[in-house]
Chains A and B, each alone.
Chain A
């Protein structure tokens, strides 16, 4: 009798079981929200001129997707189905306002550079997409991991794009001039040899081209991502 009961009871899963680890890692590579699902492209173009803004934006999105997924998942059984999209929006909006207020208080300069884009996290398709597709159907802990994974997948892409754009566009990384000083008359480093920063790469369209190149490389290496035809 007791043996039967033990069988019926679902085996408790460890916090970082293989399945849960997959939730974290898949979105970073083969199921990346930006390069594979092509969500959240707009902000990837706007705030990837510098590494520090990209990092803060990435962390903000991780926070919103992870905490939001957790809350939505916890509420999923008591949520009135007819207003579920509204509830999801309220949760996302509240979390975005929390992030925005905290940035304004503790990182005012970065908050100014990100300006409206923090507020626009709410319209980032990754967030509503994960709420609706994952958190509504899964338990809080896996949902939380899924949120972190997808947020991190977005953040990593932002950082890669920002790395290329800040290095080639401004000759610096995280604001540190690593290619030398470009001040006319007192050039140092690479600039003494006639190297010039590429101003084109600072403009938004170049972010799209860089994202395109990343998608191309990723699909060339992983043929299972290629669509038929």
Chain B
């Protein structure tokens, strides 16, 4: 057959696409289970990293993440935008873990007020803590995090932030200790004395370190503001829920 002919070219291309497509589909399906398991472990480590100090977190690896998660995380709830409980008690922990807030955030077909809000409860050194996963938008792509609320249901006891592809050295610094400390080390509170949510403000003038004022990152303004927006949007329903407890 003439290799230059159209028929030969089209047949060759068709066979090639079918073979390559089939091979990749087979590979993707056979590895999916393992990849999903890796993703779940990663998620558990992210939840734990808001609860545990960096030193404690050093001891948590992929191998023992499952056990550490079971040790600290005692339960969970899923609430709606108005703070009403959708799932709690026995089912709460699993339901909270299975809730994919990143997918909901991305999915334009889910109305903002139809999103669900998961939360984990943890016991550490005899105290009850609440870990809230949050998600938002940075400069180049998604950012996310987990915020750990202390027993008083208002003070931020810990946090961890992650990002998909923020600029290294600038926006990407949100995941580093010094930026997290700005949310955690002072007297940062998510509610005022009445238990209502109070907005956080990421500032540029270096006056942060107050209850609701946080210093941003120089050169990472849009990412810092992404964190601010993410906190202010995601945490509100929980303050409503906390009032009912």
Contact = CB atoms under 8 A, between A and B. Distances in A.
A101 B31 contact: yes
Contacts of B8: 80
B20 A104 contact: no
Interface residues of A, number: 23
B46 to A, nearest CB: 12
Nearest to A87: B16
A83 B31 contact: no
Contacts of B165: 115-116
A83 B16 CA distance: 12
B3 interface: yes
A141 to B, nearest CB: 22
B127 interface: no
B12 interface: yes
Interface in A53-112: 78-83, 86-87, 90-91, 94, 97-98, 101-102, 104-106, 108-109
Contacts of A105: 31, 34-35, 38
A116 B42 CA distance: 18
A80 B27 contact: no
A83 B9 CA distance: 7
A98 B24 contact: yes
A149 to B, nearest CB: 26
Interface string A4-15: 000000000000
Contact of A104 (B4, B9, B38, B62): B38
Contacts of B20: 90-91, 94
Contacts of A98: 24, 27
Given A90-B16, A116-B165, A81 B3 contact: yes
Interface string B186-199: 00000000000000
B238 to A, nearest CB: 29
A101 B29 CA distance: 10
Given A97-B24, A98-B27, A115-B165, A80 B12 contact: yes
A69 B27 CA distance: 21
Interface in B10-47: 12-13, 16-17, 20, 23-24, 27-28, 31, 34-35, 38, 42
A79 B11 CA distance: 11
B62 A81 contact: no
A108 B40 CA distance: 12
A81 B4 contact: yes
Given A104-B31, A108-B62, A79 B24 contact: no
B31 A80 contact: no
Nearest to B5: A80
Interface string A147-177: 0000000000000000000000000000000
A108 B12 CA distance: 36
A215 B29 CA distance: 44
Interface in A121-157: none
A94 B34 contact: no
Nearest to B21: A94
B38 A79 contact: no
Contacts of B35: 101, 104-105, 108
Contacts of B4: 80-82
Given A97-B24, A101-B27, A115-B165, 11 more contacts: A78-B3, A78-B12, A79-B12, A80-B8, A87-B16, A90-B20, A101-B24, A101-B28, A101-B31, A104-B31, A105-B38
Interface of B: 3-4, 8-9, 12-13, 16-17, 20, 23-24, 27-28, 31, 34-35, 38, 42, 62, 165, 169
Pairs of residues from A and B, 6 with the lowest C-beta to C-beta distance, nearest first: A105-B34, A80-B9, A108-B38, A105-B31, A94-B20, A105-B35
